[in-house]
Structure 1
Amino acid sequence: MTLKKFKLVLLVAVFCAFKSFAQTTDFKNPSLKYYLNPEKTRFIQFSGYMEFWARYSELNPGSLVNDQPETGVYDFSIRRIRAKMTMRPTENLTVVLQMGPSNVNVNSKSNTYMDLLDAYAEYKFSDYISVGGGRSTWTGLSRFSTGPQATLLYDMPAFATGNAGNTDITLRKLGVYVKGQIGKLDYRMTLADPYTDGSAAAKLNTAVFNTDGAHQLVSGYFKYQFLDKESNETPFSAGTYLGKKKVFNIGIGAEYMNDALWHTTNSGEVVHDAMKNLAVDVFYDTPINRERGTSFSAYAIALKNDYGPNYTRNIGTNNPATGVNADISSFSGSGNSYPVVGTGNTYYAQIGGTLPYFDQEKKGMQLMPAASVQYSEFDRLADPVVVYDAGVSLLFNGHSSKLTFDAQRRPIFGAVESLAQAPEVTAHRMTYLLKYRIDFN
């Protein structure tokens, strides 16, 4: 037998093995899960997904695309690719490996390899306590601080992961965590060795992440589940269950990192600043009519951030710009950036739900409209940051295959000449986005 034929036979055998011990997914297809024992308590499972974006963005003043000034741009990108393996060799031990790039666009010609994301192991002593360690996105603070999963809108709110790239790599950090459920209380606590920004010199009366050795980051999140319990198998929380569960949770979280940032005083003294963040959030998701497929979902959060004096961070998600002309730029930066996180307070709410199935007998496609608003008051800015999102998803197969349209309105803060001036809102820009998500199973 040739090597090529052997590989083909092996592939067919593996597929048949997985199919023999299958569970159904949103596609009603066999999942890629192979049980290692007759009791089906030990297994190896493969999963993954891709998200494609087509977008038109009105760009911030002075934005450059391939060194050319542009006021707006169309672009295509792959927002995320994920390939995941979960193995449970014993009833109490779970090992997770996950790879995949993010933001594969025309600006990432040299960054399209399959990055290592997750590599961690977890031992479950009981429902009350599990202990894990490695590189993962397990963290505290809020419901959506770990990143996206089953989103109500096109993505999770950017401020929820506002430290991305400063203390982590694609939201992942090396560390240990403890989690569990005690009755209706769900908890997680983490201790991580964060990655350092490694490039920011101390600035006058403006905190930035420092280049010193990283201090450990402590975080925790506790939520009380009044109705149906949610799974804590993975660090991710659903944005909506599409009416399959009835959930009402209230959560509280915090994170702390000593000497995470620094700034200089008028006398030239370098002062270190701790990162101290607190959050309280509420999540409600309920069916309205299970037969018709209608449901309602809502989420709200109040977040208090303390990074030190005048800290703000502009973020442009999957930014289409390659640079900015400093002579005519704004405080908001290049492309689709705006002040997402900073020292101050943030309030956010999103609502949405599913409309009746198009075909009641087949329980097929349905629409899911949603909207959100972010309102942030940052110490550095004269005006609040107000960002609106509104969109609708066409669900082909639940969250496993869906097409989402979103329109976002964001503020532009004008340029200032000195720290004595507080940037004001001078204009607004729009982004129109079409996303398709497809799961691999």
Structure 2
Amino acid sequence: MTKITKTVWVGALLMTAQLTLAQQITPVDTTAPKPKPVAEKNELKYNLNESGTHFFKATFLNQAWLQYNQSNPGTTVIGVPKDNTFSIGLRRTRIQLFGQLSDHVFLYLQFGMNNFNYLNGGFSQTASSQRKVQAFFHDAVAEYLVFKNKNYLNLGAGLTIVNGLSRFSAPSVATIMSMDVPVFAQATVDQTDQFSRKLTVYARGQVGHLDYRVALSDPFPIQTNGSALPSYGPNSIFALKGHEKQFQGLFMWQFFDKESHQAPGYNTGTYLGAKKVFNVEAGFITQKNAMVHVAAPGDTVYQNMNLWSVASFLDMPLNKEKGTAVNAYLGYFHTDYGKDYIRFNGAMNPGSDIVAAQRPGGLGGSQGNTFPMFGTGSVVYGQVGYLMKRDLFGADNGTLMPYVQAQIANYQRVNNTLGVYNIGLNYLIKGHNGKLTLDYQNRPYYEPSSGTSKLSAGGRRGQLTLQYQVFI
């Protein structure tokens, strides 16, 4: 190697060493801005335009129940009398798909199942493979927004829960404060509708403080509800003959914040302090010749179904810094289903009711956890809950929200005032996205009165339920 070549190599090595040393001792610029942490996304949403005003979104909901029930007298479980039951089930499993496809076009679909326990929604000694037919379309509705970027008037049609009567006639079940909704407010559920949904055309909107919806529905014949047909008698039933349209309306005056108006018809249960809401409301449902009874041999009487309610709803923060809030509702319901109408019902009823003859006086359907949930008369319903401070158990460990509920009814066919009471506690792990709810219900059970078709309270029973909800 020549002297020149050696000199070049030595120079190159020295330069490399200097560069390496310089890189090692170069001070770090502590004033440079640090990258911001990526915010958590809390929804599955695909934007169809850059601004995000056109989008399509998916949500998923699962509500699992563990239920211990003190049985009503005469309760059987697959032919064996039971004084109490423990059951596991899915109260609701749902998928929602919806989106604002353009400035004027909105699409909403919901698919899922309800009340899936060991009886898979109902027991039959002759049916087979019933446990595989529970899921169905709850909603399939298209909407046209008449005014761009305004909710003054939206026109819609399809299978929808857009209902009159009250906010709880079309509840957003993923956001309710209590473990379950007051089902009596879904007045014709699974009688002349599909789990509160009907084939409907409607108009809805918000103008100033007024939130309104009016609807014309095409109810299903009761012959298609999957249950044994009721018999004509002195007490009203849904008519087995004729077909009339149903008219509905709900009007809410919003004193403070406007409520969400995106999903057609659905009303939020609680905003967990994110909004300041106080509303008064009035609603109705009416249908000509919807009910029928026999007044005397050969004298068949058809009656209109007329239901209306007035109510107030409060959901607002108490201390924004701490995150505390209150939720309250009080409503009066006038429920006219015709002479002496009564219907027993119970959420996730664990009684199989295969030997109805064990209970005289037409009380075969009163087994398990049922009570006269629907009837001709009047109902007062109220609830109140308190959201405790944010991060009650430490950062990201959630908080608690206790509540109480009461449904007090006077029905024509029931001798005593009916009172159903619930007390519960929500553990909000991540708001409504992940929560545990423990609920205790105390309800009456009924016996036939001697010599009449009236019902009298025979005593009371209790039910303890633990729900785990996951929602995204």
TM-score (norm 2): 0.84
Higher fraction of helix: 2
1:186 aligns with 2:198: no
Gaps of 5+ in 1: 1-22
- Could you tell me how far apart the structure 1 residues matched to 2:336 and 2:259 are? 30
The one-letter code of the counterpart of 1:225 is: Q
Residue 384 in structure 1 maps to residue 417 in structure 2: yes
Is the deviation greater in 364-373 or in 191-200? 191-200
Q: Structure 1 residues 266 and 222, CA, compared in 2 at 3 Å: closer, same or farther?
A: same
**Residue in 1 that maps onto 2:273:** 243
Secondary structure at the aligned position of 1:238 is classed as coil
Question: Partner letter of residue 163 of structure 2?
Answer: T
**Equivalent residue runs for 1:238-387 within 5 Å:** 238-323=268-353, 324-328=355-359, 331=363, 333-359=366-392, 362=395, 364-387=397-420
Which whole-Å CA distance do the structure 1 matches of 2:132 and 2:282 have between them?
37
Equivalent-residue separation in structure 2 for 1:383 and 1:135 (angstroms): 38
> C-alpha distance in 2, partners of 1:38/1:239?
31
Count of aligned residue pairs for this structure pair = 414
SS, match of residue 387 in structure 2: coil
Q: State the distance in 2 between where 1:201 and 1:366 align.
A: 47
Among candidates 85, 103, 115, match of residue 91 of structure 1 = 103
Secondary structure, aligned partner of 1:382: coil
For 1:207, the equivalent position in structure 2 comes to 236
Deviation sequence 1:32-88 (CA, Å, 0-9, x none):
111112222211111120100001011111111111110100000011111111132
Report the AA paired with residue 100 of structure 1: G
Deviations 1:108-156 (A, max 9, x none): 1624443111111000112210000000111111011013341111011
| Contact 1:202 1:263 survives alignment (8 Å) | no
- Following superposition, the deviation at residue 29 of structure 1 comes to 2.8
Structure 1 position 81 matched with structure 2 position 112: no
Determine the C-alpha separation between the residues in 2 that align with 1:98 and 1:49. Answer: 11
Please state if 1:164 is matched with 2:189. Answer: yes
Partner SS for 1:326: helix
Q: C-alpha distance in 1, partners of 2:131/2:272?
A: 35
Q: What letter is aligned with 1:292?
A: K
AA in 2 matched with 1:220: G
Contact 2:393–2:399 (Cα < 8 Å) also in 1: no
Task: Report the more deviating stretch, 399-408 or 230-239.
Answer: 230-239
Q: Distance in 2 between matches of 1:435 and 1:268?
A: 50
Shift of 1:341: 1.3
CA contact (8 A) 2:448 2:454 kept: no
Q: Is the 8 A contact 2:206 2:212 kept in 1?
A: yes
Give 2:96's aligned amino acid.
K
The amino acid of 1:83's aligned partner reads I
| Distance (whole Å) between structure 2 residues aligned to residue 110 and residue 307 of structure 1 | 31
CA offset at residue 395 of structure 1?
A: 0.2
Which of 389, 393, 409 does residue 442 from structure 2 map onto?
Answer: 409
Larger Rg: 2
Please give the root-mean-square deviation of Cα atoms over the aligned residues, in Å.
Answer: 1.8
Q: Secondary structure at the match of 2:357?
A: coil
Q: Taking structure 1 as the reference length, what is the TM-score of the superposition?
A: 0.90
Residues 312 and 30 (structure 1), Cα distance of their counterparts in 2 relative to 1, 3 Å cut: closer
- Out of 185-194 and 315-324, give the one that drifted further: 315-324
Q: 1:95 to 1:414 in 2, by over 3 A?
A: same
Q: Secondary structure at the match of 1:435?
A: strand
Does 2:174 align with 1:145? no
Q: 1:116 aligns with which of 115, 123, 137?
A: 137
Aligned match of 2:33: none
- Distance, in Å, in 2 between the alignment partners of 1:134 and 1:172 is 10
Opposite residue 235 of structure 2, the aligned amino acid is: T
Identity percentage over the alignment? 32
Work out whether 1:436 is the aligned partner of 2:468: yes
Q: Give the conservation status (yes or no) of the 8 Å contact 1:388–1:410.
A: yes
Asked whether the equivalents of residues 174 and 432 of structure 2 are also in contact (C-alpha less than 8 Å), the reply is no
- Work out which of the residue numbers 217, 222, 230 in structure 1 matches 2:246: 217
Instruction: Deviation per CA, 1:328-386: give whole Å up to 9, x if none.
Output: 46847111110011110100110011111345873640000000111100011110110
Q: Distance in 2 between matches of 1:132 and 1:366?
A: 39
Give matches, 1:22-41, under 5 Å: 28-41=40-53
Q: Deviations over 1:151-188 (max 9, x none)?
A: 11101112111311112011111111100011000000
